Amino acid sequence: MNSKKVIAWFIVIIMSLSILGYVGGGLLGLGESTNQKEYNNYILYYNSGLWDLVYKNQKYQFQYLPHELENISIPDTAFLINSPKLYLAYVPNDTIQADQTILRIRTIMAAETSLVPQVACIQEAGCPDIPIISCTDNSGILIKSGENNGFQTQDKCLVMNIKDYSEQDKLTERLLYRLLGVMN
């Protein structure tokens, strides 16, 4: 046998084995574990770099799986759902950008609860024409920069403290999983 035939047969064998591996892996379900994950009876599907959660026939996308966010604790938020009016508040001219966080929280709350949160400021200076609230008098979620990343309660508000922008999505998604009931 000359060397061209040996190389040709080698390529044919390699390609045949790779096709068998692909088909066999699909039939045995070997690829499913990376494309879907289960958490508290919810299934998340990996799609184009994000995790899709179907909740009450609505699809929500997340960058992080719930188990990746278990180290972020959130105080009891029952007071938020039970309040007649809820605000998503921010500090004008803060070092963090709250727009995307507010939009994601508001979208999910409007779709999944009876509440449609109102965007508000926590102080008048730099605030556009929206309500100004205080956590003493109003229930809400306050998004602001802080010394640490995490959540705490302040009177009638759940405060999302964001130290660095890289953690903002994790904190937001942790709260969204909580609001949807995926995580406690």
In which band, very low, low, confident or very high, does the pLDDT at 171 lie, cut at 50, 70 and 90?
A: very high
Tokens of 111: 């779709």
Mean pLDDT of 16-21: 74
- Cα 27 off chain centre by: 32
Q: Which region among 25-29, 126-130, 140-144 has the lowest average model confidence (pLDDT)?
A: 25-29
| For residue 31, pLDDT beyond 50 | no
Give pLDDT, residue 25. Answer: 53
DSSP 12-79: HHHHHHHHHHHHHHHHHTTTHHHHEEEETTEEEEEETTEEEEEETTEEEEESS-GGGGTTS-----HH
Identify the three-state secondary structure at position 163.
coil
The model's pLDDT over 68-105, given as tens digits with 9 standing for 90+, comes to 999 999 998 777 767 778 999 999 999 888 999 999 99
Mean pLDDT of the chain: 88
| For residue 49, pLDDT beyond 50 | yes
Tokens of 162: 């964001």
Q: Under CATH, which number does the domain 73-180 receive? A: 3.30.379
Domain ranges of the chain: 3-30, 73-180
Q: What are the Cα distances from residue 15, in Å, to 4, 6, 29, 138? A: 17, 14, 21, 66
In which band, very low, low, confident or very high, does the pLDDT at 22 lie, cut at 50, 70 and 90?
A: low
Residue-wise burial string across 41-76, b where 16 or more C-beta atoms lie within 10 A, e elsewhere? ebebeeeeeebebeeeeeebebebbbeebeebebee
